[in-house]
Structures are given as C-alpha cells and as structure tokens.
Amino acid sequence: MADTDREANRFSARASRYARVGANVGGVAARMAGAKLFGGKEAPSNAAALAQALGGLKGPIMKVAQLLATVPDLLPPEYATELQKLQADAPPMGAAFVKRRMMAELGVGWQTRFQTFDLKPAAAASLGQVHRATALDGTRLACKLQYPDMQSAVEADLKQLEVAFALHRRMSSWLDTREIAKEIGARVREELDYEREAKHAVLYGNVLRDVDAVRVPAIHKDLSTKRLLTLGWLDGQRILDFAEAPVDVRNRLARSMFKAWWHPFSRAAVIHGDPHLGNYTVFSEGGEAKGINLLDYGCVRIFHPRFVGGVVDLYRGLLTNDNARIVHAYETWGFKNLNKELVEILNIWARFIYGPILEDRTRTVADGVKPGEYGRRQAFEVHQALKARGPVTIPQEFVFMDRAAVGLGAVFLHLRSELNYHRLFEAEIDRFSLAELEARQGEALTTAGLALPA
C-alpha cells in the first residue's frame, strides 16, 4: 500500500456525498411531506423507497434508521418492517469492488493468504460488509471490509447532522443539542478505524472471558488493517428467531444480554453504545439456545470511572429517595445549573430508565405497558416540562449511555423476558468501589492498547 492515504477526508468525495444525500433522501422526504400536506395517505412504496435510499447511502444516515427500528412499534409497521432489513441486510457491494478493496488492504497476492474467501458478503451494514473466509490453517473467519471513501461520507453526513441540530435548536429552544452532536461525531469517527475496533474486541474479550453466556470473536491481526477487520467466525441465529421460544429460553437470552452490556460497564467503565439487532446473534449447544455472540465493536464508549460512580449514585439515590445523592449523580455526569425543578424533571426520565432495576421482583421491562406506549408518556412529560423551563444542555457522555439503556430495553421487550432485573444489577455493582474500578479499567485498557479516558 502507498504511504499516501487515498481515502482521507477529501472535498470532492464530500461534495459528491452531499449531492447523493439530497437526491436520495430528499426525494423520498418530499413525497412523504407532500402526502401529508395535501391530506393524502402514505404510499406503501414510500417505506421501501426510504429503506433503499438509506441502504444505498451507507454511513451514519443509515445508522439512524437502525436505531429507530430497534424500538418495537415506534414507527408505523410498514416503516419498521423495511428499516428492520437494514439491520443486517443492507444492499451489498459486488465482487469486483471486493477484489479491489482487498488488494488495497492486503496487497496484490491477498487471495494466497486465505484458504477460501467468499466474494459474496454474508452481511452488509452501514460502514462495511462482512465476508466469510477460511484461514490457511482452516480457521473460519469473518472479514469486515469498509466501503470506499467512508471518511469523506461520514464528514459530509456529520455536517448535515449539524445543520439538522441547528434547525432543531431554533425550533425547540428548550434543548441544546451541541453536546449530542459532538458525541455522535466522535463515536462515528471512531467507528471508521478498524484498528481501534480490534482493540475494543480485545478489551471485551478480556473483560468477558469468565462469562460463558457471552462470546467474543478472536482477532486475526495479520489479516487486519485500518479498513479491514478479520475476526473468528461465530455461528448464531437472529435473536428475533427466539421471540416465541419458551419463557425460560427467552429469560436465558435476556440475562446474557444484560451481562454483555452491564458487566463490562461495571468492571471496566466501558459500554457498547449500539445494541441494535444486527450486532449480536444467539449461539446454541446441543440444539438449545445458550447465550449471545457479541459481533461488532465499532460503537464502544469508554467512560471515566467517575461516570459509572454517577450511575451507581443515581440508582441508590432513587432507591432510597436520597435527593443529595441524586443531585450529586447528575452533577457528576455534567448537568449544570441544577435546581429543584430541573432535578424533578430529570427524575421523570431517570425513574423510567431505572424502573426495572429499582424493584426487587420478577417483572417484564414494560410491566404491563404496551410496547408501542413504552416510554412515550415519560418522554412527553419531560419534553413538555423542559420546553416550559428550557434550555437544557445534555452532557456529551450521557448520549450513548442513554441510547444503550433504551436499546437494551427494546431487546427485553422483543423477548418479553421476565426477570428480577434489580438482583441482576445488584450483582454487577456488589461492593462497588471507584478506586478498584479505576485500577481494573487501567489494566484492561493498557492490555488492549487503548488510552485512558480524560
């Protein structure tokens, strides 16, 4: 490979991206808006057209669709159905593209480094697509190959996201979105770096090595680059295939998901910020579902240990109605200019998010609330209260923590699991100590080759 990075952020590629986003998404949006403006009905083809436009664009635009499709009944059924397909079945790139990309990453004789390599992708996602392969020693592999010019595409999309957020601030002055935009930009840019993602996978493999219910793929560094990530192949089925399984199976998978997200958080102050349905599968043994394969490590958020301390403080403050501890938690996270009124507003959402772990009993996440109504009342109350009070700045670190909590809750909704989430959480924070967490995190990050958080 040449020393010059031909796919660095380029003006020509960004300009092309602006045009494509406008043509693809703008056209569909205009049709939808027109139908509503003139009192017409949504054409069923609009949902398919939107999915096709988003899938063809790749990048962060599509990741928004993935997040929307994670929450059951949040969207009209026809939209949810189409956008759900983007989770693990985005329109792929062809064989000629794959050959060129592999040559750019591993050199002219790249095919001699594999026993087999399937040019047809096994899965396609927002920033890259995955190919089945076999190493020379027979090991089965998953090769994630990044699409061309993704850096330029991401920068172009983030610029448009900034414009959208600026418009939102003008229309909804109660919410300052600047920190949200900053956090999304930082995490999406990290996702472009497959060398960093490989380190994330090493981190998770070490933190979860004693958790049998969660499997992390091995990294093959000799077959990986900044834009090619080669992992061990993990066999598994979609979690939605088990939505109608017996309750004990669904509960087992829900416990595995809980462990996959909250164990690394409590042990190393790191969280997987993108729990959408394409990022994990279910592994089985003896014909029985046993646990979760955690597949993707691009969207990982490393926190300072004090942030985890804030999560624990808020939990214990809500549990015992300790207002001083609740305020301390919000301040630890970075909320500013707190007063009694704002704390009460924030507590509406906090009691919703923490609800399942505050009650020491077996329950579903929704606890009798219809999936389509889950969280809507609380979100409306917070929206109205903050709109009247405004403006509020959401701290940068809070963004993906909230996203992970909501996304994980949606998984439990899909599974209709019945668990004592309170005891699961208590087990994770048993004898919690900031000093011990800081020591464990330092060791884990150093072993993985990752920097300590600021």
Quote the CA–CA distance of 198 and 450 in Å, as a whole number. 10
pLDDT at 151: 80
| Mean pLDDT, range 313-333, rounded to an integer | 96
pLDDT at 24: 46
Question: Is residue 233 over pLDDT 70?
Answer: yes
Confidence of residue 42 (pLDDT cuts 50, 70, 90): very low
| Mean pLDDT, range 128-143, rounded to an integer | 96
Question: Is residue 420 over pLDDT 80?
Answer: yes
Quote the CA–CA distance of 363 and 96 in Å, as a whole number. 52
Confidence of residue 80 (pLDDT cuts 50, 70, 90): low
pLDDT at 249: 97
Confidence of residue 395 (pLDDT cuts 50, 70, 90): confident
Cα 283 to Cα 87, 230, 271, 286, 293, distances in angstroms:
19, 20, 22, 10, 6
Closest CA to 227 of 202, 200, 191: 191
Question: Is residue 208 over pLDDT 80?
Answer: yes
| Mean pLDDT, range 286-307, rounded to an integer | 93
Backbone angles phi, psi at 420, to 5 degrees: -95, 90
Closest CA to 407 of 292, 273, 301, 310: 273
Least confident of 146-150, 156-160, 401-405: 156-160
pLDDT at 4: 53
| Mean pLDDT, range 183-192, rounded to an integer | 80
The secondary structure element, H or E, covering residue 446 is: helix 434-448
Confidence of residue 441 (pLDDT cuts 50, 70, 90): very high
DSSP tag of 242:
G
Question: Is residue 23 over pLDDT 60?
Answer: no
Question: Is residue 142 over pLDDT 60?
Answer: yes
The larger pLDDT score, comparing residue 124 to residue 372, is at 124
pLDDT at 40: 43
Least confident of 56-60, 287-291, 299-303, 415-419: 56-60
Question: Is residue 199 over pLDDT 50?
Answer: yes
pLDDT at 185: 77
Helices 398-415 and 340-358: angle between axes, nearest 10 degrees: 40
pLDDT at 91: 59
Q: What is the pLDDT of residues 328-366, one digit of tens each?
A: 999 999 888 888 988 998 898 889 889 999 999 999 998
pTM tops 0.75, yes or no: yes
pLDDT above 90 covers a percentage of the chain that reads: 50
| Mean pLDDT, range 134-148, rounded to an integer | 95
Question: Is residue 12 over pLDDT 50?
Answer: no
Q: Tokens 């809750």: give the residue.
A: 409
Quote the CA–CA distance of 61 and 22 in Å, as a whole number. 12
The larger pLDDT score, comparing residue 202 to residue 20, is at 202
Q: What is the DSSP string of 16-75?
A: HHHHHHHHHHHHHHHHHHHHHHTTPPPPHHHHHHHHHHHHHH-HHHHHHHHHHHHSTTSS
The larger pLDDT score, comparing residue 112 to residue 158, is at 112
Q: Which of 204-227 are b and which e, b meaning 16 or more Cβ less than 10 Å from the residue's Cβ?
A: bbbbbeebebbbbbebbeebbbbb
pLDDT at 96: 92
pLDDT at 337: 84
Confidence of residue 186 (pLDDT cuts 50, 70, 90): confident
Confidence of residue 235 (pLDDT cuts 50, 70, 90): very high
Question: Is residue 445 over pLDDT 90?
Answer: yes
Structure tokens at 209: 């090595």
pLDDT at 274: 75
Confidence of residue 41 (pLDDT cuts 50, 70, 90): very low
Q: Calculate the average pLDDT of the chain.
A: 80
Q: Is the dihedral of CA 65, 393, 308, 231 positive or negative?
A: positive
Q: Which of 127-148 are b and which e, b meaning 16 or more Cβ less than 10 Å from the residue's Cβ?
A: bbbbbbbebeeeeebbbbbbbb
Question: Is residue 294 over pLDDT 60?
Answer: yes
